[in-house]
């Protein structure tokens, strides 16, 4: 009951929720459609709650929804987390899932191989991140978002 009341008493962000909901109703090709919403602010102001509300609205509109944050140690891990969430929603990502499984297997082998050069696993991770960004740019909407990522930041 408390959670239901908290959801219904979500105040102060109605304009953001309305803007987000209206945006979801626009066709993808509409120039007014936004694919990126920036949520920022000091701790405790309701950013996570707002993101949960955005996620709920997007799911109710039939959109695929996934979330990641700074807790992921690398870009491939973040991609793996997002892919897992999409798969749980019924979206098939067989090619990525197979390649990510192989990547994790090879990474584990490198990390446990006493003969592997120092830092080799990190170098492979950076290479995978660059490849992931290049592949992501081929995906509609994903390409627009990834254009915001400075690939040089990943090596």
- Cβ burial 64-76 (10 Å sphere, 16+ → b, else e): eebeeeeeeebbb
Contact 131, 73 (CB under 8 A): no
DSSP 1: -
**DSSP assignments along 25-84, one per residue:** HS-TT-TT--S------STTSSHHHHHHHHHHHHHHTT-------TT-SSHHHHHHHHHH
Per-residue pLDDT of the chain (155 residues; tens, 9 = 90+): 666 555 555 677 888 899 999 999 999 999 999 988 888 889 888 888 999 999 999 999 988 899 888 888 888 999 999 999 999 999 989 999 999 999 999 888 888 888 777 766 666 666 666 666 666 656 555 554 555 444 444 44
* CA 45 – CA 16 distance, rounded (Å): 14
């Amino acid at each position: 009951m408390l959670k239901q009341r908290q959801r219904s008493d979500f105040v102060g962000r109605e304009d953001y929720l309305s803007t987000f909901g209206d945006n979801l109703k626009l066709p993808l090709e509409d120039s007014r459609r936004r694919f990126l919403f920036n949520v920022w602010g000091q701790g405790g102001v309701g950013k996570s709650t707002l993101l949960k509300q955005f996620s709920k609205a997007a799911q109710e509109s039939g959109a695929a929804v996934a979330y990641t944050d700074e807790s992921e140690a690398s870009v491939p891990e973040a991609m793996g987390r997002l892919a897992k969430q999409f798969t749980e929603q019924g979206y098939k990502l067989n090619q990525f899932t197979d390649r990510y499984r192989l990547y994790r297997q090879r990474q584990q082998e490198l990390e446990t191989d006493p003969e592997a050069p120092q830092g080799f696993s990190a170098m492979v991770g950076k290479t995978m991140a660059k490849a992931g960004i290049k592949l992501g740019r081929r995906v509609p909407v994903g390409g627009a978002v990834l254009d915001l990522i400075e690939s040089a930041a990943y090596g």
